[in-house]
């Protein structure tokens, strides 16, 4: 990899690590990087390529898109993120980590009732966090 690309990859990873409690689509990432890095920000095709590579390296987690949108991505803040479910607040965009025991119990129940094995790595449960509900924006 050229030095230039290494620099862009670092920029991207740094940004994701600073925002590890959020998930981004490629478009959102491109816009956020442009806002924070300006001219140095990688373009969309570069971001797409880098993200695909980071998913392969297990540094980034890819979620199926919400309501027909494209995939969203999030940096893997810890190694356990492959083995528990995540909740995403539609109000503030925050990602919550479900503990392993709750996650496993939930999935075991789904498997038992529907004989369906959920792909926990790709699944996001959408809703509203306590703060957003108290804020009165959502039911």
Q: Which residues bind Zn ion (CB under 5 A)?
A: 81, 89, 91-92, 97, 129, 132
Q: How far is the CB of 51 from Zn ion (least distance, A)?
A: 18
- Give CA–CA dist 29/66, Å, rounded: 16
- Give CA–CA dist 45/9, Å, rounded: 13
Taking the least distance from each CB to Zn ion, the nearer of 8 and 128 is 128
Q: How far is the CB of 47 from Zn ion (least distance, A)?
A: 23
Taking the least distance from each CB to Zn ion, the nearer of 37 and 118 is 118
Taking the least distance from each CB to Zn ion, the nearer of 49 and 133 is 133
Instruction: Name which of 42, 60, 63 is nearest 51 in CA terms.
Output: 60
């Amino acid at each position: 990899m050229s030095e230039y690309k290494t620099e862009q990859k670092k920029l991207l990873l740094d940004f994701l690590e600073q925002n590890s409690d959020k998930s981004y689509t490629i478009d959102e990432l491109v816009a956020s990087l442009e806002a924070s890095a300006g001219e140095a920000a990688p373009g969309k095709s570069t971001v797409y390529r880098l993200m695909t590579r980071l998913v392969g390296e297990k540094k980034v987690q890819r979620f199926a898109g919400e309501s027909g949108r494209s995939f969203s991505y999030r940096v893997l803040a810890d190694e356990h993120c492959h083995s528990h479910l995540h909740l995403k607040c539609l109000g503030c965009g925050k990602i919550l980590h479900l503990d392993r025991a709750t996650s496993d119990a939930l999935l075991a129940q789904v498997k038992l009732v529907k004989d369906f094995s959920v792909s926990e790595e790709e699944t996001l449960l959408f809703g509203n966090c306590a703060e957003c509900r108290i804020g009165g924006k959502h039911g």
